[in-house]
Structure 1
Amino acid sequence: MSETGDIIDQWREHLAIARRRSPHTVRAYVATAARLLEYRHIKSWQQVADLSTRDLRGHLAERRAEGIGNVSAARELSALKSFVTHARDLTGAEPGAAPRIRGPRIKKGLPRPITPDEATNMVSTVAESAAEDWAGLRDSAVLLLMYGAGLRIAEALSLKASDLPLGETLVVTGKGNKQRVVPLLPVVRDAVAAYVAECPFEVSGDAPIFRGVKGGPLSQGIVQKAMARARRALGLPDTATPHALRHSFATHLLGSGADLRSLQELLGHASLGSTQIYTQVDAAKMLEAYRSAHPREDG
């Protein structure tokens, strides 16, 4: 294997195992690193560690000339900073020091949550449209973990059999290997228990709770496709994605009176700024929606 291939393999392993990044993030960060190595003819970790702010600016300028927009450029910069910082950790050159470079300004749009009724109908439709009953129970349980507990899809799918039986709270390992404790509503716990009871594969030890039809770990793509089918059946917009369920969890809780710091902890946001965007949504409307239809023990 080439030296470049070794670097990419080591970077992929670091992201997936040491940093516990989602498969989507791993793919994106690895692709960004591979482009950098190719464009700059880099063959060693030391060469990566030696890259200057000017080098990175030049690389990003080349990428912008290829037509990538502000959002893509900002994402690539984040990946590049992480890559170079890791190289400096490995080589002892300014260990832990991230390159000082600002990315393009990105105007954040409002999250687009779905209403409680839409979420409830989505969960029901996903369950009813599955090819097998156990798979329907599985998909609806995953969606309820996102809508009822605010989990990211990768966090829900990373749950292990050792986490069972689910109690009133759950320790979740999120981005950056950071752990947080989230409360679990009875309807969420019941949905997971119903799926486990019907799952045709043994759920024990360190095995993942959620399985694909062949018994392997359930992929995000399967859940996304199931929700896309339900979305079309219900006539919902394309923005009604699995992640929209997490947005709904956040907006409904904020509307019900949750403070930003508590919401930040529940969502696992690294900074309060990521959570503050939810304050721009109509609080009164969220409160009414949450009280009327958010999953809870009596409904």
Structure 2
Amino acid sequence: MSLLAFGQTGQVAKELARLGVQTVGRAEADLSDPQACADFIAATDANAIINAAAYTAVDRAETEEALAQTVNGDAPGAIALACAAKGIPLVHISTDYVFNGAGQAPFAPDHPTAPLGVYGRTKLAGEDAVRASGAAHAILRTSWVFSAHGANFVKTMLRLGAERDALTVVADQIGGPTSARAIAMACVTMAKALQSDHSKSGTYHFSGAPDVSWAEFARVIFKEAGLSVLVTDIPSSDYPTPAKRPLNSRLDCAATSAGFGIARPDWRAGLRDVLAEIQKP
């Protein structure tokens, strides 16, 4: 089976490349030019597509909505239509930001969406376009992505922890940290399953377990990295950002397990692997 993934510099795209998936960067097909992405698919001999590219600057999106909409909304639609035309499946990565973060229960895939900001709205627009395309698809919502590369919470904590002996970290946002490698592996599994069974098309959730707060996540990062840093819990209101974050990012992943045999990964094991890679001499 030949897999092709949009994205080269992102965390999941890098892990897909490590798994042997061919990745496509901006020089070949930029998501800011949806037609170029569709044309690339039309010319490829791949028999399944993974879209691991997106506009992910959550705060900057508040002032760049047009660009975020093109990359997160219009391009996935064009990619999906091109997949439909060739009869090949698409795995499209989305986000917990399509929900409003209310309550404490995990969000099921069919829970009503209500994004809090531009990033979530544009990602939801991409989901809707994929569903409307007629392509066999799996929309995979995930959360709190981390890896040894790119910009992410783990690397930020390691940098700050090396500079300071005490930090304040938000404690009222709860979710499942998810390693980029686990997401990449899930995408490959789903793409292969969809290639042989289009009836598995739908929206799925995938996040690491157990659910924790950012502050709790930080404490485990410091402990595993051997850094002595005092973490003090603060509410989100003490750390204002241009874009509002969902307080509840818990995701119900039961359908992913039932449909594809993919269990929620233990993020603590994923963290240890990431730390080993980062600290490797």
Smaller-chain TM-score bracket: under 0.3
More strand by share: 2
Greater RCO, 1 or 2 (C-alpha within 8 Å, sep 6+): 2
Larger radius of gyration: 1
Q: TM-score, normalised by structure 1?
A: 0.25
More helix by share: 1
Q: TM-score, normalised by structure 2?
A: 0.26
